[in-house]
Structure 1
Amino acid sequence: MNDHSISLTAGCRPIALGACALAITWALAAGGAAAAQEAAPSDDADRTIVVTAQKREQALNDVPLSVTAFGAEQLASRGIDSTVDLANSVPGFTYTESRIGTPIYTLRGVGFNDIALGGRPTVSVYQDEAPIPFTVETRGGFLDLERVEVLAGPQGTLFGQNATGGAINLIAAKPTDVFKGSLTAGYGRFNEVTLGGFVSGPISDTLKFRLAVKSEQADGWQYSTTTGDTNGKKNLISGRFLLEWTPAEALRVNLNLNGFLDRSDNQSPQYLLARPSDPTAAANIPGLATLVVPPRNNRATDFNPGDYARDNDFLQANLRIDYDLNDQLTLTSLSSYSKYNQNQLQDLDGTPLIGLTQRTMGDIESFAQELRIAGDLTDQLYVVIGANYADDKTRERVSGDLSESTQAYAFVGLGLPPFYSFGLRHDQDITTYALFGNAEFKLTDALTLQAGVRYTNSNNRFVGCTRDIDGVTSQVFSGFHDFVRTVVLGLPALAPIPAGGCITADALQVPQLVTSRLKEDNVSWRFGADYEIADDVKVYANVSRGYKAGGYPSLAATSTAQYDPTLQESLTAYEAGLKAAFSRDFQLNAAIYHYDYRDKQLLGIVADPSFGRLLRLLNVPKSRINGAELQLAWSPVRGLDITGNASYVDSKITAPFVAEDPNGVTADFNGQAFPNSPKWQLSGDVNYEVPVSDRLNAIFGASASYRSTTNSELGRLPELVVEDYALVNLRVGLADSDKKWRLMAWMNNVGDKYYYTSATRSIDVFNRMTGAPRTFGLTFTYNFQP
């Protein structure tokens, strides 16, 4: 079977990859349907999933929004084990990583690429409705879940700012009334060993618990083309402990303690080509001219000797209290505290040179409190009214080494020595207050109206600078500042910068610690209607506006002006959609939308006289997105489930926007598409479980996905193009008919397709972040109950 699948994938190359990938999936589905044409219809349908996308329990088909949801069984059968896997199953969703390894989630072209530890996402992640404020804290969240909900489009009224792209809700599996548990063990390529499980049950008549843990360990999957050393090992341990207490019929208390320990390696980028930032200094870096381009192999890379294992950990505590005021109204308090610590070294150029290595140390501390009242005021009117408070503190310390880059020689023309290192200090204290309300009014049996509004006030206090860390950089920049002051400005020289001092200077070349404050407020809103034109066939239309908060950049800067904040962005969305269950076994969802952007935040380039071209967040005055998506779920026979997704995203900057491209060339980017926003995404999945005896079922599954060409950064440089690619995954297994155990064999990226998810420039070189190579393994799950 594997050889056949590889040949199918190879045959796709000369033609449309996406169509071919989906054809493989549909061919497998057709074969499964033919083999089981006498079977009874499936009892499982996506429309039976209950979701909390609007902060109350509703059937998936009753939610007048574009929502993709997966129950626990679907997550297990499709091998959806992290947010990375959602890209193969959610229309319009993409996953990439920034140059420092921070996850970037994009929905319908709305994403946020930032290198700051305190960078806010546009696709927010929640665990049991409690916010996980920063995407770097979301690793390990896919543990023992009841379901996952992905909401597309602005979610500002119920989920707050920083959800202009959408929201991902991770719903943990809850404590059970009887004692039960599960154990999962797996082994795969690169000696990957996975071990996890849960235990759950009652402690007393009013108190229940659930404990889940998971360990993921693997050897390095990357190799150095010059030394043969490996990189990319996995070492991630995650856990969750739940308590559910019901001391009275009207009172429910839920405690969620969760976290992870991440000691995995940071991925090394793959070198593409050299382009010296300062060609006149290239002779000082002899190895730069002899760098060898690695083969087009996902595993091939290069890096300096060192320990690239993360020393990162995250802990979150969520306390939810629900009290029924009466039969109609419930008062809910949701308190959340989280702490994240980071210490990691990264080779950012993907070469054996020390072009740029960076150690990032820091921590994030967050507290959030929500208080709301929700319920039916009348038989026709459901309301939610509440308030939010959040306090986030980020502390970031960076030490960089660029000793084998041309940038180190920036000031030798002034008679100054090279500088080989720099440090960053970036602190942000962000306080947010919000009031919100949402109402649904059932005007007739078929027509329902919705309206929501949220007022948000935020205050961001920033302290930071670029600084000396070795005693040499301070001397070099003292000489540079004195040169500008005395020769250019005609001012007297200043006292030397002390060791460890700030080198960032104002317009008069006075070095200083930058302090700044950004105060913003906004009003998010949503108005919509849905109409049931037949049983289980609904059309809806929404118009909404959401905001993403502004913030401060993380970059090496000689000028205080480079630490000016990026302002908040706004997105006004117009969407119409269809949700139709044409039978119990066939579900079709479709949506079209238009997004109108103001001040969109994009990662662009600014020129620094000392550090050259730097990544910095910029505000794009005007831009828009037009798009459409289609989802189908079909269960033609018992045990056979077929899903398909298609997404079209056409993004464009629609007003003059002059900035620099990664080569330092000033250009007007009017008319260009957003980075990391492929125009087409297609995916499909087939899962067929068929009895082979009275006690044994066989399982066959396949998934395929396609992503069209996009660009990692503005400028349309060929070096930053992310080529289109298609991936095929296969799985086969056996299971007990009572679902007591399951053994699965799986293979991902069957054709060992070479692909990469992003590209960037690091001072003197261009490089890429490659995707995972072919992986395969076995997974065994055993469920027990006394």
Structure 2
Amino acid sequence: MAQIKRAHTKWVVTASVLALTSGYSQLANAQDAGPTVVDEIIVTAQKREQSIRDVPIAVSAFSAENLDAMKIEGGSELLRAVPNVTFSKSNFSMYNFAIRGIGTKALSAASDPAVAVSFNNTPLLRNRLFESEYLDVSRVEVLRGPQGTLYGRNATAGVVNMLPNLPGPDFEALAKAEVGNYGTLRGQAMINIPLTDTFWVRAAGSITSRDGFDHNTFKDEDVNGRELWSTRLSAAWEPTDRFRANLLWEHFEEDDDRLRTGKQLCTRAPSMTRIGSTDIPAETQGRFSQGCLPGSLYDDAAYSAPNGAGMAQMFMLNSIGLGSKPPAPGEFFGESVGAVGSALDPYAGVTQSKNLREIATAYDPRYVATNDVVQLNLELYINEKLRLYSQTAYSKDEFWATQDYARYMSNEIFNSSDGLQDVFGNPMIGGPAPDGYYTDPQLGASRRMESVDLSRSDNRQWYQEFRIQSDLDGGFNFILGANYLDFKTQDDYFVFNNTFNYLAEYFYGRVIPGQLNKIETRKCTDGSVDECIYVDYSSIDNLAGDGHNYFRSKNEVHTQSWAVFGEGYWDIGDNKRLTIGLRYTDDTKTTTPYPSQLLLGSLDSLGFGPLSGGSSVRGYPADPEVKQSWEALTGRAVFDWKPVDGLMLYASYSRGYKGGGTNPPRAGINPLVVQYQPLAETFEPEYVNAFEVGSKFLNSTGSFGLNVTAFYYDYTDYQVSQIVDRISLNENFDATSAGVEFEAIWRPTPNFRMDANVGFLKTRIGDGEGSIDVMNRTQGNEDWLVVRPWVQVPSNCIAPKHMVEAIYAHPITNSLQSYALSALCGGSKRIGSFSPDFPADSIVYQYDFWTGLEYNPLTDAPNGGRGFEADISGNELPNAPRWTVNIGAQYTWHFSGSELTLRGDYYRQADSYFRVYNTEYDEIRGWDNVNLSATWELPERNLAVQAYVKNLFDDAPIVDAFTNSDDSMLTTNVFTLDPRLWGVSLTKRF
């Protein structure tokens, strides 16, 4: 439990941005004449209680009062108080907290965060500490740089450690109520009761309710609200001076209409009308549009909608003509967006509001999360010189969130199927869109194209650590320890689209002979017959999850890790100390891959399969388990020296490690039907060698403190992912990161103080590194074209322009053109069977039956047809702004029995990029933020009233972005800040 040693004047730091101090408390009375000094705070950054001034680590620490003064109400806002830190939510169920340009840019279930998040010194791989609000916190510590000894695996960028208040021997209680704009209601309460002289209990709870920050213009209602609550129960027992124990349970729960991601932007890509001297038929022009262009997210053009004519399901639906007489493309679809001889584009003419806080959707979002942590801590004094610690923790985290996939509306595309006739003139029975509404089993009835996603996660973790810590006389002390972690996760990501289900029911569905005019008999309802696409008719709230009428990425990972570690501390002379730490880590990850099955069915008896090209009828059969193991030796060496009072200099070398993993499996297409473009199935662990020098200075009067840190990182195989083939493809890049950080505090008078932190950062991807940019697959090569594949093959490919022109120049039917174009992205044996020269025992795609040309994309195109590699040598890492700065100032006026403190904080972050390619499209422009607060305290009554304004100028900058998949037309999800918030709170202590 933190202890603050006050010297001379009693006062409280209301905003610590300095590694040598933190804490918010009362200012000295006006009549106190003692010198102004900075509080000394005790931290556990090295898993032992030390003054923060004696810790040769770049560490910032913040008390609960300090966090409240700066209105830092959750981990996401720590970027305003720590130099070279950025934060953003991620596209799915996680977040990216980056320190010195290093964060979590790898998104698969098998990847781990680079910043280790700990609760009371216990690491939690999945947690809600960055979306829950702080509750009864003792302090928060942020350690910058690799922590490869005491905190171990995955702490390549640093550690965020939240330490709760634990039960104590004195009675105390607190009640706090707050109201604010957006209908905000907040409440917190705490009580600490000593039941006996040696046994104490503590309970704390909080609740937050507010209306939505965003407005849904389609329904004219607000969304993105919050309804959450947290509780913590703890007990402490100290029967003797040599033994103590504490047990705590914390529960977090949320159920509201919060959005995981913000607005979706797109600079619309046009269709191609002509290749060379050959015209392209209107119905296939969209095959050469990737949907969205890599234009700046800050241009007005970014508020368009994608070119939906390129969506694979659209050009398939455009050619169905199901149930009409005679069959005619576009018969079931609205004349405004599709008709005979034209492309069906559900987004034709659609534009968006340019307000990042406005979306348009017919679907109500929902966000549900629960998290439980149980922790038992034991501390035994073996003797006066040795102390034994045991930490045991179990955590459970469950997450379920659904929202509109696009967050803008399509046109109405479904025509009424009433009165349709079959080819024999007989009335059709059970048409797909009575009165123009198509009913999807998960999404309901609509005239528009509806698309919704669902992200859910189920996680369990067990952790055990033992440590022996010395307190020896003389010049040497040590820590020895061992720990074990067992973590199991299942992550599911679904995308539902009513056009997917339409195809499953009325195109790929089963047809019963003799009942061709009965449309509902095409539905595959039981999955027992070959050549059908099984349709799951369960609701999204209680999903069976075995349907092929939606996309599902299912990922199960079991991580087991054990480690032994030790650290020694030698006093090697007057005011000089050497620290040596080593850690051996053994990691094992077992992944069960489940290929996705969107619109896939089973093979037929001839081995060619249905049009879907799949190999299963229903469900998600697992591929063989993938077991990966790594061993790593990490640690650090630190030399620190105190040449004079108030000054410490230090230099350190540390090595960090983060485990690798598997990339999620792609679609379960049978290789006899389609061969994929090559992709790596696994990604490597990342390692970092870090060098750091620093100083911590406090002047003789205690009125001015300055910390300066310089660092250089050399990364091997830094992990970054992007969406390829509907999976998070993790790639490894070598990189460097270097920078300088300044943290200062100045208090010239007892009533006035200023503080600041500034971070300068330069990251660089290593020479020779390259990656395929899905937004620019041709890299400007005019001899190649981007071609969109068929609906079951997720990613675009590139093909020679002369090959595409030859296909269109040949007098063949539109349907064969469609097949031929699809074959350019992997192709199918079925296409080859049209050629008499097709070899039956291999996959070679020959088009000599109409062009006289031969082309195998897997061997004849760069990178198997995926595209030309972009040279990213020398580029900056994602989410690594060149500089960050925060400046705060406060003044306190003293009155009889009360005092008033005004505080202002200004934060600025420079330009950065959200991808490794550093193009105009990737740019995140610099942004700033201003916050104000006023606190009126009555110390004798233990009463405080606070008013605050956050984001004073109501800015809505883009703080991060995420590129969606090719088959989503390469749209971009963006993230922004909360709007202007104001509130007033009343706090009473007892």
Alignment of 1:378-417 (within 5 A): 378-403=473-498
Q: Is the 8 A contact 1:271 1:294 kept in 2?
A: no
Residue 467 (structure 1) aligned with residue 596 (structure 2): yes
**How far, CA to CA, are the matches of 2:641 and 2:574 in structure 1?**
9
Q: Which amino acid aligns with 1:742?
A: A
> Which residue pairs with 1:291 in the alignment?
350
Deviations 1:137-161 (A, max 9, x none): 6533621111111000001100011
> Which residue pairs with 1:501 in the alignment?
620
> Which residue pairs with 1:776 in the alignment?
982
* Alpha carbons of structure 1 residues 758 and 80: separation in structure 2 relative to 1, 3 Å: same
* Alpha carbons of structure 1 residues 361 and 605: separation in structure 2 relative to 1, 3 Å: closer
Residue 281 (structure 1) aligned with residue 310 (structure 2): yes
Identify which of 576, 580, 586 aligns with 2:704.
586
Alignment of 1:526-675 (within 5 A): 526-554=636-664, 556-558=666-668, 564-582=681-699, 583-606=701-724, 608=725, 611=726, 614-620=727-733, 622-665=734-777, 666-675=869-878
Residue 752 (structure 1) aligned with residue 954 (structure 2): yes
Q: Secondary structure at the match of 1:168?
A: strand
* Displacement after TM superposition at 1:496 (Å): 4.7
Identify which of 191, 206, 209 aligns with 1:214.
206
**How far, CA to CA, are the matches of 2:581 and 2:488 in structure 1?**
29
Residue 439 (structure 1) aligned with residue 568 (structure 2): yes
**What 5-or-longer segments of structure 1 have no aligned partner?**
1-35, 488-492, 503-511
* Displacement after TM superposition at 1:761 (Å): 2.3
**How far, CA to CA, are the matches of 2:613 and 2:890 in structure 1?**
72
**What 5-or-longer segments of structure 2 have no aligned partner?**
1-28, 270-288, 292-306, 316-343, 411-448, 509-530, 534-547, 670-675, 778-868
Deviations 1:401-433 (A, max 9, x none): 245699999xx99xx999852112211111001
* Alpha carbons of structure 1 residues 106 and 496: separation in structure 2 relative to 1, 3 Å: closer
Alignment of 1:216-231 (within 5 A): 216-231=208-223
TM-score (structure 1 length as normaliser): 0.86
Q: Which amino acid aligns with 2:389?
A: T
Q: Secondary structure at the match of 1:76?
A: helix
* Displacement after TM superposition at 1:243 (Å): 1.0
Deviations 1:284-324 (A, max 9, x none): 553323231322x3422233413x22221010111110000
> Which residue pairs with 1:513 in the alignment?
623
Q: Which amino acid aligns with 2:396?
A: K
> Which residue pairs with 1:317 in the alignment?
374
**How far, CA to CA, are the matches of 1:312 and 1:430 in structure 2?**
22
Identify which of 139, 159, 181 aligns with 1:167.
159
Q: Secondary structure at the match of 1:87?
A: helix
Residue 305 (structure 1) aligned with residue 345 (structure 2): no
* Alpha carbons of structure 1 residues 407 and 761: separation in structure 2 relative to 1, 3 Å: farther
Identify which of 387, 403, 423 aligns with 1:330.
387
Q: Is the 8 A contact 1:200 1:208 kept in 2?
A: yes
* Displacement after TM superposition at 1:117 (Å): 4.8
Q: Secondary structure at the match of 1:178?
A: coil
TM-score (structure 2 length as normaliser): 0.69
* Alpha carbons of structure 1 residues 446 and 426: separation in structure 2 relative to 1, 3 Å: same
Alignment of 1:126-165 (within 5 A): 126-136=118-128, 138-140=130-132, 142-165=134-157
Q: Which amino acid aligns with 1:360?
A: S
Deviations 1:426-480 (A, max 9, x none): 1111100100000111112310000000000011000022334xxx7222x858x
Q: Is the 8 A contact 1:142 1:170 kept in 2?
A: no
Please report the RMSD computed on the Cα atoms of aligned residues, expressed in angstroms: 3.0
Deviations 1:484-534 (A, max 9, x none): x999xxxxx9995121234xxxxxxxxx52420111110111001001021
Q: Is the 8 A contact 1:604 1:660 kept in 2?
A: no
**How far, CA to CA, are the matches of 2:403 and 2:949 in structure 1?**
29
* Worse overlay, 717-726 or 101-110: 717-726
* Displacement after TM superposition at 1:267 (Å): 3.8
Q: Secondary structure at the match of 2:625?
A: strand
Q: Which amino acid aligns with 1:678?
A: P
* Worse overlay, 278-287 or 196-205: 278-287
**How far, CA to CA, are the matches of 2:549 and 2:119 in structure 1?**
43
**How far, CA to CA, are the matches of 1:96 and 1:555 in structure 2?**
27
> Which residue pairs with 2:883 in the alignment?
680
> Which residue pairs with 2:803 in the alignment?
none
Larger radius of gyration: 2
Identify which of 715, 727, 731 aligns with 2:929.
727
Deviations 1:532-561 (A, max 9, x none): 021010100000000011123357545797
Query: Comparing both chains, which one has the higher relative contact order based on Cα–Cα distances under 8 Å and sequence gaps of 6 or more?
Result: 1
* Worse overlay, 233-242 or 417-426: 417-426
What is the number of equivalent residue pairs in this alignment? Answer: 717
Deviations 1:614-653 (A, max 9, x none): 5321111x21001110000122222433210000111111
Q: Is the 8 A contact 2:260 2:401 kept in 1?
A: no
**How far, CA to CA, are the matches of 1:268 and 1:355 in structure 2?**
18
Kindly indicate which of the two structures has a greater share of residues assigned to strand: 1
* Alpha carbons of structure 1 residues 163 and 310: separation in structure 2 relative to 1, 3 Å: same
* Displacement after TM superposition at 1:40 (Å): 5.0
* Alpha carbons of structure 1 residues 557 and 723: separation in structure 2 relative to 1, 3 Å: farther
**How far, CA to CA, are the matches of 2:404 and 2:107 in structure 1?**
14
Q: Give identity over the alignment, percent.
A: 24
> Which residue pairs with 2:67 in the alignment?
75
* Alpha carbons of structure 1 residues 641 and 551: separation in structure 2 relative to 1, 3 Å: farther
* Displacement after TM superposition at 1:262 (Å): 1.5
Alignment of 1:257-272 (within 5 A): 257-264=249-256, 265-272=258-265
* Alpha carbons of structure 1 residues 160 and 407: separation in structure 2 relative to 1, 3 Å: farther
* Displacement after TM superposition at 1:136 (Å): 4.9
Q: Which amino acid aligns with 2:455?
A: T
Identify which of 911, 920, 924 aligns with 1:718.
920
Identify which of 441, 463, 468 aligns with 1:368.
463
Deviations 1:264-283 (A, max 9, x none): 31244213224463666356
Q: Which amino acid aligns with 2:938?
A: D
Q: Is the 8 A contact 1:604 1:661 kept in 2?
A: no
Q: Is the 8 A contact 1:100 1:348 kept in 2?
A: no
